[in-house]
Amino acid sequence: MSKPRIIRKYANRRLYDTEASRHINKEDVRKLIASGEDVRIVDEGSGDDITRSVLLQLVAEQELGGQPVLSDQMLTQIIRFYDHPMQGMLGSYLQQSFDSFLQQQSTLQEQMQEMITSGPFAVMTDVAKQNMEAWQAMQKAFLETKAKQDDD
């Protein structure tokens, strides 16, 4: 696992990307995460890791705009699980479910790619190639037969 990209949050609420050496905003952080970067956000004053807090803000903002991922029913059920004896297991279960979903998505994408490169299109390409080879063989045989007849 790669080392997370450090983002510093200053008292004036500005975020600073230490790798790019520039100020960024929350949308930039969201784009970094969406592109596969792991980030760690640190409060410059206290040194506290505030990544979770910022990530929750990003999720809330994403849920309010566009098409939400989390339904009202799902959010309600998550809230009900806090202070529940099984609270610790819910996070683990959700993480495993999400990991499984991502693995299935990756497998499906690989299968689709394989189907495109070696599936029906590849079969049609092979058939066309075989037909072309058969046609060329017939032409060659015809020309050889014609040449023999002309020689006789």
Burial-class residue 41 by CB neighbours within 10 Å (0-12, 13-18, 19+). buried
Residue 74 in 3-state DSSP?
Answer: helix
What distance in Å separates the CA atoms of residue 37 and residue 8, rounded to the nearest whole number? Answer: 16
Q: What is the pLDDT of residue 123?
A: 66
Instruction: Please give the order of strands across the beta sheet that includes 39-43.
Output: 22-24, 15-17, 5-9, 39-43
Q: Tens digits of per-residue pLDDT, 114-134? A: 777 776 666 677 777 787 887
Q: Tens digits of per-residue pLDDT, 57-93? A: 999 999 998 789 999 999 999 999 898 888 888 888 8
Report the largest interatomic distance among the alpha carbons of the chain, rounded to a whole angstrom: 102
Q: How confident is the model at residue 23 (pLDDT cuts 50, 70, 90)?
A: very high
Q: Tens digits of per-residue pLDDT, 36-61? A: 999 999 999 999 999 999 999 999 99
Average pLDDT, the chain: 86
Does residue 150 surpass a pLDDT of 70? no
- Indicate the pTM of the whole model: 0.66
